Chain A
Amino acid sequence: MTALASFYREREQPILGAGFIFLLILAWQSLPAIISLPRGLSLFFTTPVEVVKAFYRLVVANEIQSHVYVSGVEFVVGLALAIVAGLPLGLIMGRSKTLDAMLDPFVTAFNATPRLVFLPLLMLWLGIGIWSKIAIVFVGAVFPLLINTYEGVKNVDRVLVNVVRSFGANEWQTMKIVVLPNSVPYIVAGLRLAIGRALLGVVVGEFFGASKGLGFMIASAATNYKVDVVFVGVTIFMSLSLILTHLVKRVESRLSRWRPDVVKTF
């Protein structure tokens, strides 16, 4: 018994955390068996077992793969474009005072506003196809990347820059030797935020005027009262987001063990 007790004491945190989630799922599953739900509510009710069944059904029907594929393409292309645009702009803004001052009003305004507000505009411009979704992913993800890169460049050690300069390095070499390595942890932190924004863009973008993708699957299942399918979609999004952020977080903590815990938040 003492062995069990010490086992518990050592792993109390994960046991309690996982146990709570398990209990919640159990309670959810057994709720209809304990109390009879009113008819109005049972229409919107589903149980975890039903959700798993629906997932299995969709996988067998080869339906979910195509939705995931479309959403995945939107996510990857949008995020890649955001990296391609955000990093250089952040580097330049961090190094040039003039450009920083000139672009700052735009960056502040767009960063404070949820970029989802541009979704109707982007759909008007780019149509209801895949490109309007890629665009919304892009505008969502680009600002966290840009701002974190900027912050990383700003926090570079002046002394190191001066040393490299006095040994005759030009701007490009300074960038390569000092500035870029120093900002990597910040960029990774920005990437983690960008992933969240990008997923948000995929979900919401596909709610409107899409014909494929996980967000579309959720929205059309909801209008047909297929609540189990809604939860399949939501669960997939949740797992994807948890896995991706966890991976980036691990990279982050490896890179930034030495870094003081100040990164620009928004």
Chain B
Amino acid sequence: MAFREMISEYRRPLLGALSVVGLMLVWEYAFTYVLPLDPFFFTKPSLIAAAFKEQVLSGALWHDVAISSKAFLWGFSLAVIVGIPVGVFMGWRRRAEYILDLFLTALYASPLVALAPLFIIIFGVGLTGKVALIFLLAVFPFVFNVFAGVKCTDRLLVNVVQAFGGKEKDIYFKVILPSTLPYIVAGARIAIGRGIVGILVAEFYAASEGIGFAISRFGDTYRLPEMFAAILLLMIVAVIFTEGLRKLETLLAPWKIGQEAR
């Protein structure tokens, strides 16, 4: 009886795990016994696992990951440093909103990745070009989420600070920034996805190292298991970060917030 209760309680995760494992088994079995495996066209889980183990343990992939992470951290930090003040300013000053909103919305809604080739030829294939592209893609979620957060700030709190003789600075740091925090987290979640897009495009386009370069190099040399392993690694990182931030978001603000990704 207890067993049955346990099953019904954990039905969802059990079914999920079952379908993942099932798919892997079917995939593995099909290409081992039923269909001929063309190693230049497809691969199977056991080979991917072996490649994953080899690439991750040997540290070959870690070097690429470190290169990409460095670019990502720079671009992302710049996006935070620039995006949050701009968002606060836009949210708090009506005229600033009027002036900037149309322009920034147009940029946010358009596929700015199209500028990638230009960035690469201007800044070169090294770190700078990647950082610039990641910054450009990641800054807008911060701007618009902080903007929305400031707009939702409780006027009453602002009035209290003012009534007790608080200055403009106090309003920003004591009221606006704390109440905007959940929105910043929501922005960060969207910005991470866009930042990874920036890394991938820059490194697919022209690079000599980095995770995107590794994936496209494995593809060019038909090393499919290694390619799948690199993709898997990137997927794991992306899931950890976005789901982690989603958890943090619900922790900070159980109601639903955040601008949609565009």
Contacts and interface: CB of A to CB of B under 8 A. Distances in A.
Nearest to A24: B103
B32 to A, nearest CB: 21
Interface stretch (A47-55, A83-91, A165-173, A203-211): A203-211
A75 to B, nearest CB: 11
A125 interface: yes
Contacts of A103: 19
B153 interface: no
A33 interface: no
B152 to A, nearest CB: 12
Contacts of B121: 44, 222-223, 225
Contacts of B190: 265-266
The SS class assigned to the A binding surface is: helix
A265 B117 contact: no
Given A17-B101, A104-B16, A105-B16, A265 B219 contact: no
- Give the top 6 A-B pairs by smallest Cβ distance, nearest first: A17-B102, A222-B117, A120-B219, A101-B15, A238-B110, A102-B19
Contacts of A222: 117-118, 120-121
Contact of B201 (A101, A192, A204): A204
B222 interface: yes
Nearest to A215: B114
B175 interface: no
Contact of A102 (B16, B122, B205): B16
B235 A262 contact: no
Contacts of B95: 16
A101 B242 CA distance: 20
Interface string B153-178: 00000000000000000000000000
Interface string A88-109: 0000000000100111111011
Interface size class on chain A is 35 or more
B36 interface: no
B259 A207 contact: no
B70 to A, nearest CB: 19
A113 B118 contact: no
B6 interface: no
Contacts of A116: 197, 200-201, 204
Given A17-B102, A117-B215, A120-B218, 13 more contacts: A101-B12, A102-B16, A104-B12, A105-B20, A112-B235, A119-B204, A192-B262, A204-B201, A207-B201, A238-B114, A242-B110, A263-B260, A266-B261
Interface of B: 11-20, 41, 95, 98-103, 106, 109-111, 113-118, 120-122, 186, 189-190, 193, 196-197, 200-201, 204-205, 212, 215-216, 218-220, 222, 224, 227-228, 231, 234-235, 238-239, 241-243, 256, 258-262
Interface stretch (A60-68, A156-164, A175-183, A229-237): A229-237
Contacts of A56: none
The SS class assigned to the B binding surface is: helix
A191 B17 CA distance: 30
Given A17-B102, A101-B16, A114 B239 contact: no
Contacts of A35: none
Residue among B118, B234, B238, B262 with the most chain A CB within 10 A? B118
A207 B204 contact: yes
A16 B16 CA distance: 52
B245 to A, nearest CB: 10
A249 B109 CA distance: 12
B110 A241 contact: yes
